[in-house]
Amino acid sequence: MAIKAALLTLAALALAPATANATLEKEPHGSVAGLVGVGIDVAGEDAFFGLGLRGGYTLRPNIYIGGTYMYHIVSQEVAGGLHILGVEGGYDFQFEPVTIRPYIGLGYGYEHFEFESGREFTFSAFVFSFGGSVLFNLNEQWFIGGDFRLPIFTSGGEPEFLPTPSLTGGLNF
């Protein structure tokens, strides 16, 4: 159910700009942002608090390239967590003061846990993700908004999904 909702949300994000009259083009610029969100384990129906950083550059005409790092705390009883590091690319649809950015990403996911019993668990996988951001430009420099990504972990077996809605805020320079 969560995957269907994510796909419908992304389709709406992708189609919304097509119905608008015009897309504004901005000057090339860099940006950095923080992410605070929740990773939702579809299989176990658990939620994991996450913190992250995003940095990138918007080229002409509104093509975005960048990178993201997210860390999810899986449990308070277990030391360790889930790290996701990757690159992403997208397109900035400008509707001042709002920017809508659908994107895709590629990266690496790594989980490491240490249990009280001394036992350890490690998992790593290739990560493909797609998502979208809706950013509200407070002024020329600062923005706030929401982000939704669907990382898909592939390690040779069945793919695993971790839908991740987040709040974001940052700085354009």
Kindly list the structural domains of the chain, giving each domain's residue range(s) and its CATH number in brackets, ordered by start.
2-172 (2.40.160.20)
Output the pTM of the full model: 0.81
Per-residue pLDDT of the chain (173 residues; tens, 9 = 90+): 445 544 445 555 555 544 444 467 788 999 999 999 999 887 766 788 999 999 999 998 999 999 999 999 877 667 778 899 999 999 999 998 999 999 999 999 998 888 777 788 888 999 999 999 999 999 999 999 999 999 999 887 788 888 999 999 999 99
**Which residue in this structure is represented by tokens 């430009």?**
137
Cβ-proximal residues to 160 (8 Å cutoff; 6+ apart), any chain:
42, 43, 125, 152, 153
